[in-house]
Amino acid sequence: MGNLLKNIQSPDDVKKLSPEELPALAEELRQYILEVVSVNGGHLGAALGAIELTLALHTVFTTPKDVIVWDVGHQVHAHKILTGRRDAFRTFRKEGGLSGFSNKDESEHDPFTTGHGGASISTSLGISVGRKIQKEKGKAIAVIGDASLVSGMAFEAMNHAGHLKDNLIVILNDNEMSISPTVGAFSGYLNRIISSPVYNHVRKDIQALLSKIPKVGEGMVKQAKKFDEGLKNLFVPGLFFEELGFRYFGPLDGHNLHELIPILRNISAIQGPVLLHVITKKGKGYKIAEADPQRWHASTPFCVDTGQVKKSSQVSTYTQVFGEMAVKLAEKDRSIAAITAAMCEGTGLVEFSKKFPDRFFDVGIAEEHGVAFAAGLAKAGVKPLVSIYSTFLQRAHDQILHDVALQELPVLFCLDRAGLVGEDGPTHHGVFDLAYLRKVPGMTLMAPRDGRELRMMLEMMAKHKGGPIAARYPRGAVAEETAGPLSQVSPAILKKGRAELLREGKDVLLLPIGSMVYPAYEAALLLEKEGIQAAVLNARFVKPLDEKAIAELCEEISLVVTIEEGTLVGGFGSAVLEFLGSGRRVKTLGIPDRFIPHGKRETLLDELGLSAAKIRETVLEELNLLKQDDVAGRDLPAAL
């Protein structure tokens, strides 16, 4: 840790530094972030790119009196370090440690727990208006990236802010554009002039004076405004934002502290909504990340000197299986297209995008549009594979209902990162999809037990006709390439609405879905050692549920245990309970009605009772209760 950073305990300490010391502190922050992320993993590129901007914000503004809302929140590393979490930053993304995103429970300097894009302008505007109502002072600043700005919600908020005319500062952190030295230099000079208090005071006085001139005054004010806007837009792309009602400044070099700080001070005094456009570079200061910003958006632990990932697994992932199958299906069927929302690499569609560029669509952080766009494609006879992380598909819930299901269109939803995603935490855990998709009329909803079954489900989806169909699959390695005993058992032929009986048994029915099939099977083997015969039925389908298979097994078995890596509220277990009614003893295992913190997936699953060992414990407890209640009216295992 550098000498300057050692003395930073709070943002007040940043304000004590001279302008000459700030660039040195930026480099110390950069090295510290690299040191920690290389060990713990996590988002990197945007965090390195936002360091100077973070320093400038904390030099000019005073949090938490002034509120900074970071869109998505994956670039807040420097902000965390400067706001009293310097030493704790070594626990970044570790269980019980700091979150990888903004987190309201960590610090008063984090107003929101964030993880999804596009909401920062809305929430910042709400804070600004709310403070005016409460007669409280302080600035509200939204820091939003160019990728998040394309979100429809961001434009809705800007339109509203321009209408309200309340004080709001939006920082557009643009790390995709380039800026030439000439345009950048002139832009900086021009912005220093038009943002200065003297200029804005004179500007208002002249407008007030002109407006008093009879007949021609108002017209002259309009012409003056046009000249002002025209001068700016001759050199800088601000007309669009000005039309929305914002005063626009930029673009500025987001790594030049000597330029950023004076501009921020100037615009902090301007009344009404203001947008400052800054240009930053992803991975700034780390040449390896600068050269490949897409790869270094986030990373597992790596060697700083070489960029080499420390743990390189040869095991296939569900994402890879999907990507390979998407290409194979598209080669056979020219009507198949693929849609993703700013996650081409994350969803495994890079090869598809290269082979079929005319059938690949990255809609950006605009899931609502992506799903409605898919509905249009389906209406035209195309078969759209909509590949979006489970947690992000939540944003398009209305489009799934209104534009897809109501129209009975065969849109093919492929939900990556379903279930617990580990260190990314509650904003990214994909635990609600079974519940929010199960209630959609006409929806077919599946979850594979392993990569082999995912391939079968994708083939079924490509042939599907009628309403929407979805398959959800977890993050990480496919289950069959682990050492689990079920890996030796090939999946049975897949038929719509039909479950797969993996083991027979008379004492308890284990009824898992998707990623929980392997742990349930292993739990059955553990129970067998204790004289308990557990049947295992791989549900495969949440909707339609294989009611026939469940009913037949329940004729002989008194205890049913459903197991899902999803919320218990309205999820798979609820579907089974609704079918069986109150006449059976059903224990549901899954995600309780609360948000789950970050941590290693295996640890979280065990804590939630979803590991093989914990499933075994639950079955033993339930059978003991059943014996005590004498509900079954028949002999129970001697072991009990």
Residue-wise pLDDT tens digits, 391-416: 999 999 999 999 999 999 999 999 99
Q: In this structure, what token pair is assigned to residue 292?
A: 């490949």
Which residues are known catalytic residues?
282, 367, 395
- Most confident range, picked from 56-65, 227-236, 574-583: 56-65
The residue behind tokens 């003893």 is 585
pLDDT band for 214, please (50, 70, 90 cuts).
low
Distance CA 258, CA 23 (A): 9
Residue 640: per-residue pLDDT: 54
Could you read off the pLDDT of 40-62 as tens digits, one per residue?
A: 999 999 999 999 999 999 999 99
| pLDDT, position 47 | 95
CB 365 within 8 A of CB 117: yes
393 Rama sector, left if φ>0, alpha if ψ -120 to 50, beta otherwise: alpha
Q: How far is CA 426 from CA 101, 277, 595, in A?
A: 10, 31, 6
State the pLDDT at residue 484.
82
Please write the tens of the pLDDT for every residue from 146-181.
888 888 899 999 999 999 999 999 999 998 643 333
Give the mean pLDDT of 567-578.
97
Structure token digits, residue 311: 């743990």
pLDDT at 406: 97
**What is the mean pLDDT of the segment spanning 97-113?**
94
Is 492:450 a contact under the CB 8 Å cutoff?
Answer: no
Distance CA 380, CA 530 (A): 58
Look-up: residue for tokens 């339930």?
Answer: 622
> How far is Cα 159 from Cα 153, in angstroms, rounded to an integer?
10
CA 220 to chain centre: 49
Neighbours of 453 (CB within 10 A): 27
- Please tell me the distance from the alpha carbon of residue 361 to that of residue 540, in angstroms, as a whole number: 29
The mean pLDDT of 522-531, rounded to a whole number, is: 96
| Cα Rg of the chain, angstroms | 28
Give the pLDDT confidence score for residue 222 in this predicted structure. 60
Query: Which homologous superfamily does the CATH classification assign to the domain defined by 318-480?
Result: Thiamin diphosphate (ThDP)-binding fold, Pyr/PP domains (3.40.50.970)
Mean pLDDT of the chain: 90
As a whole-number percent, the residues of the chain with pLDDT over 90 amount to: 80
What is the CATH number assigned to the segment(s) 498-629?
A: 3.40.50.920
Please report, to the nearest 10 degrees, the dihedral formed by the alpha carbons of residues 113, 119, 121, 124 taken in order.
-30
Query: How confident is the model over 470-491, as a mean pLDDT?
Result: 92
Q: Which residue has the tokens 């909504």?
A: 273
pLDDT bucket at 339, cuts 50 / 70 / 90: very high
Of all helices (H) and strands (E), which one includes residue 511?
A: strand 508-512
- Is residue 313 pLDDT above 90, yes or no? no
Q: Which residue has the tokens 């950023």?
A: 260
Q: Give the residue from 503, 529, 510, 535 showing the smallest Cα distance to 622.
A: 510
What pLDDT, on the 0 to 100 scale, is given for residue 637? 56
CB within 8 Å of 146: residues ≥ 6 apart: 172, 173, 174, 175, 176, 177
Instruction: Give residue 238's pLDDT.
Output: 75
What is the pairing mode between strands 140-145 and 168-174? parallel
pLDDT-derived band at 234 (thresholds 50, 70, 90) equals very low
Q: In whole angstroms, give the CA distance from residue 245 to residue 267.
A: 15
Bridge-based pairing of strands 273-279 and 168-174 is parallel
pLDDT classification of 570: cutoffs 50, 70, 90: very high
Average pLDDT (252-275) is 95
Task: Please tell me the class of the 5-291+295-299 domain.
Answer: alpha beta
pLDDT range class, residue 67, cuts 50, 70, 90: very high
Question: Across residues 108-136, what is the average pLDDT?
Answer: 94
Which range, of 52-66, 142-156, 271-285, 440-454, averages the lowest pLDDT? 142-156
Q: How confident is the model at residue 200 (pLDDT cuts 50, 70, 90)?
A: low
Q: What's the pLDDT tens digit per position in 16-45?
A: 999 999 999 999 999 999 999 999 999 999
CATH 3.40.50.970 range(s) for the chain read: 5-291+295-299, 318-480
Q: In the chain, which residues fall in CATH 3.40.50.920?
A: 498-629
Q: Select from 429, 364, 424, 363 the least CA-distant residue to 394.
A: 429
Q: Which residue has the tokens 């598809």?
A: 352
